[in-house]
């Protein structure tokens, strides 16, 4: 348990970090302002960083070179002054006088040189006991001068040597320094190694101050550029956001919305162009709407006006068809064809009237509690003779869908009749399976055949009015080309869906899905649109409602899952 608690505690920051990363990624994809600001700040920070580093290095090199040259000049001047004092002294080989000369040299160096510490060491050149000892002033550490530098000073008396060193204060802190060495010739005593140490703490403080100022200026510069970019982007992105929102409202049907136009710049030009486009589209939509109303009224009026003469023609055709046996063969065949075409014309007029009602928005449902499984079973039985005339087997499978739901039986029956009729016509005499199933959210019925099928492009247009996948193919049942369009309208009127999955040469599968009651249609359909089961492997599984009622202890209808 402690290990589990530790693991959970460790995973919480990880989850928080992942959520933060996802939010940033989502903001990066969706916000132009955020993306542009991040890119601007990133590039600015890189540029400022490079500039500050370059300037810091340049300032450091310049300060160091200037301070080094100053130390070398000061050491040369102090050494020349000491050498002049030594040359002017008259010691006559007296050791006491020589000691005094060395003491004068020390005092001269302390007074003339700007160095903080000085030192002198006699060089063993065979002068014997005459040469006095050297000196260390102001706490000059004996180990401050490296052996390599002492060797070079001893070896070459004509040159001035220098070396950077670390000087320690009384509190133990270290700071930068430089030591300069050269030879000092004392008559009758030989040569001395002369070293002057210079403290560069002030230079180091100046460098730190300059570098700190550079970094502070860089941070302030990045912040200022970020603020400038934010306000600049805001002035540019806000009109773009307004344009996007206005476009969305316009696309949603609010044709009166327009973009505000400010000034004479490019954004103002965009606003004026958008408003002009919106005015043109609104005018065209109004014109199309008026034309659509005229078309709907025309179709409705013509359909109604044709009903009366069509009724007369249908009565006459029926009378002629009833007495066709009294006519000669040609006239009898003509009477039969007249009866068939008048019936087809009557169906076309009924479909046109239904379409005009949908276009006018005057269609209403007459719902009642109905078992979709029972309704589909009755329709399958009614259409078995038609299927038998096409040498087609109808199979009915109903694992669910027996519980009554609120629907319009007439419209659902019309949808199923259309789907089964199309399956019989295009099924090439192969078995057709009608499947009814349900879940807690919806009921569904699928009609599946193994006929010619359709391509993906044809399946997208199969619900269009008067559209046919193969215009040259003859209709054997006598459809009008409006059946699937009306079926889709009936399904949407129930707040349901009508979908199709078809492959060329593999048949088609139409699935009607209806929600239960007032629930919205969500989730997968109870009848899968795409299924891998072969039709030959699907048997007939008709379960009458009476049998299900007998199974229930209370005699009520129960839903099978």
3-state DSSP of 180-220: EEEEEEECCCEEEEEEEEEECHHHHHHHHHHHHHHHHHHHH
Main-chain dihedrals φ then ψ at residue 240, nearest 5 degrees = -65, -40
179: left (phi over 0), alpha (psi -120 to 50) or beta: beta
Distance (Å, whole) CA 500 – CA 488: 11
pLDDT band for position 536 (cuts 50, 70, 90): low
The CB density around residue 143, as the number of other CB atoms within 10 Å, is: 6
Give the pLDDT confidence score for residue 259 in this predicted structure: 84
- Which residues have a Cβ under 8 Å from the Cβ of 552 and sit 6 or more positions away? 558
pLDDT band for position 140 (cuts 50, 70, 90): confident
pLDDT surpassing 90 at residue 445 = yes
Query: What is the arithmetic mean of pLDDT over 455-463?
Result: 83
pLDDT band for position 546 (cuts 50, 70, 90): very low
Q: What is the CATH number of domain 17-250?
A: 3.30.450.20
Structure tokens at 523: 């989730």
Check: CB of residue 432 under 8 Å from CB of residue 420.
yes
Task: Give span(s): CATH 3.30.450.20, the chain.
Answer: 17-250
pLDDT band for position 433 (cuts 50, 70, 90): very high
3-state secondary structure of 159: coil
Handedness of CA 399, 400, 401, 403 (dihedral sign): positive
Query: What is the arithmetic mean of pLDDT over 524-544?
Result: 66
Bridge partners, residue 174, by sequence: 168
pLDDT-wise least confident of 127-131, 173-177, 501-505, 526-530: 127-131
Strands laid side by side in the 161-168 sheet:
135-136, 117-122, 190-199, 174-186, 161-168
DSSP 541: B
Percent of the chain at pLDDT above 90?
7
Task: Give span(s): CATH 3.30.565.10, the chain.
Answer: 368-551
Main-chain dihedrals φ then ψ at residue 130, nearest 5 degrees = -70, -40
pLDDT in tens, 324-356: 788 888 888 888 888 888 777 777 777 667 766
pLDDT surpassing 50 at residue 549 = no
The CB density around residue 12, as the number of other CB atoms within 10 Å, is: 10
3-state secondary structure of 529: coil
Structure tokens at 421: 């009729």
Task: Using DSSP bridges, classify how beta strands 161-168 and 405-407 pair: parallel, antiparallel or unpaired.
Answer: unpaired
Question: Position of tokens 């014997």?
Answer: 128
pLDDT surpassing 70 at residue 151 = yes
Domain with residues 368-551, CATH architecture = 2-Layer Sandwich (3.30)
Strands laid side by side in the 432-438 sheet:
394-397, 432-438, 442-448, 507-515, 497-503
pLDDT surpassing 70 at residue 542 = no
Check: CB of residue 200 under 8 Å from CB of residue 175.
yes
Distance (Å, whole) CA 433 – CA 446: 8
pLDDT-wise least confident of 204-218, 311-325, 403-417, 435-449: 311-325
Bridge partners, residue 194, by sequence: 120, 182
Structure tokens at 379: 């329709």
pLDDT surpassing 80 at residue 364 = no
Distance (Å, whole) CA 30 – CA 144: 64
Give the pLDDT confidence score for residue 469 in this predicted structure: 59
pLDDT in tens, 367-396: 889 899 999 999 999 989 988 888 889 999
Q: Whole-prediction pTM value?
A: 0.46
Task: Give span(s): CATH 1.10.287.130, the chain.
Answer: 267-360
pLDDT in tens, 463-510: 877 676 555 455 555 455 677 888 888 888 888 889 898 888 888 999
DSSP 192: E
CA angle (390 as vertex; 388, 391 as ends), nearest 5 = 60
pLDDT in tens, 16-46: 888 888 888 887 887 777 888 888 888 888 8
Check: CB of residue 438 under 8 Å from CB of residue 525.
no
Structure tokens at 6: 């530790």
Give the pLDDT confidence score for residue 436 in this predicted structure: 93
Distance (Å, whole) CA 352 – CA 300: 8
Helix (H) or strand (E) holding 385: helix 384-389
Surface-to-core class of residue 547, CB atoms within 10 Å of its CB (0-12 exposed, 13-18 middle, 19+ buried): exposed
- Which residues have a Cβ under 8 Å from the Cβ of 303 and sit 6 or more positions away? 349, 352, 353, 356
267-360 placed in CATH 1.10.10.10: no
Check: CB of residue 415 under 8 Å from CB of residue 434.
no
Structure tokens at 481: 């080309």
């Amino acid at each position: 348990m402690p290990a589990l608690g530790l693991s959970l505690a460790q995973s919480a920051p990880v989850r928080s970090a992942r959520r933060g990363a996802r939010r940033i990624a989502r903001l990066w994809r969706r916000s132009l302002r955020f993306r542009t600001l991040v890119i601007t700040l990133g590039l600015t920070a890189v540029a400022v960083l490079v500039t500050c580093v370059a300037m810091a290095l340049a300032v450091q090199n310049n300060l160091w070179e200037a301070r080094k040259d100053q130390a070398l000049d000061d050491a040369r001047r102090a050494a020349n002054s000491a050498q002049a004092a030594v040359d002017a002294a008259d010691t006559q080989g007296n050791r006491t006088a020589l000691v005094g000369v060395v003491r004068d040299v020390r005092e001269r160096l302390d007074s003339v040189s700007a160095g903080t510490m000085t030192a002198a060491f006699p060089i063993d050149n065979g002068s014997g006991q005459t040469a006095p000892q050297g000196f260390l002033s102001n706490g000059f550490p004996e180990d401050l001068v490296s052996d390599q530098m002492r060797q070079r000073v001893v070896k070459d008396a004509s040159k001035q040597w220098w070396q950077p060193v670390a000087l320690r204060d009384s509190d133990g802190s270290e700071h930068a320094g430089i030591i300069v060495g050269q030879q000092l010739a004392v008559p009758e005593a030989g040569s001395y190694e002369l070293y002057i140490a210079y403290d560069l703490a002030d230079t180091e403080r100046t460098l730190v101050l300059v570098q700190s100022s550079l970094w502070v200026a860089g941070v302030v510069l990045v912040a200022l550029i970020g603020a400038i970019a934010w306000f600049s982007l805001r002035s540019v992105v806000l009109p773009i956001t307004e344009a996007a929102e206005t476009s969305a409202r316009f696309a949603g049907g609010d044709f009166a919305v327009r973009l505000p136009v400010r000034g004479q710049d490019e954004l103002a030009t965009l606003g004026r162009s958008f408003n002009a486009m919106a005015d043109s589209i609104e005018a065209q939509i109004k014109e199309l709407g008026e034309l659509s109303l005229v078309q709907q009224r025309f179709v409705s009026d013509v359909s109604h006006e044709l009903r009366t003469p069509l009724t007369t023609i249908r009565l006459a055709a029926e009378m002629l068809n009833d007495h066709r046996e009294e006519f000669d063969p040609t006239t009898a065949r003509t009477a039969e064809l007249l009866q068939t075409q008048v019936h087809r014309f009557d169906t076309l007029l009924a479909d046109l009237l239904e379409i005009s009602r949908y276009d006018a928005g005057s269609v209403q449902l007459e719902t009642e509690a109905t078992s979709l499984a029972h309704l589909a079973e009755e329709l399958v039985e009614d259409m078995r003779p038609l299927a038998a005339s096409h040498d087609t087997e109808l199979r009915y499978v109903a694992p669910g869908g027996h519980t009554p739901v609120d629907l319009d039986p007439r419209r659902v029956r019309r949808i199923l009749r259309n789907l089964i009729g199309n399956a019989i016509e295009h099924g090439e005499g192969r078995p057709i399976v009608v499947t009814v199933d349900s879940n807690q959210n919806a009921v569904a019925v699928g009609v599946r055949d193994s006929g010619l099928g359709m391509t993906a492009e044809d399946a997208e247009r199969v619900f269009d009015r008067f559209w046919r996948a193969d215009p040259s193919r003859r209709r054997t049942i006598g459809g009008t080309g409006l059946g699937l369009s009306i079926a889709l309208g009936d399904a949407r009127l129930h707040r349901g869906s009508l979908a199709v999955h078809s492959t060329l040469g593999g048949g088609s599968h139409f699935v009607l899905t209806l929600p239960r009651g007032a629930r919205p249609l969500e989730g997968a359909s109870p009848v899968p649109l795409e299924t891998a089961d072969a039709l030959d492997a699907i048997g007939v599984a008709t379960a009458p409602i009476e049998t299900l009622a007998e199974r229930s202890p209370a005699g009520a209808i129960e839903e099978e899952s």
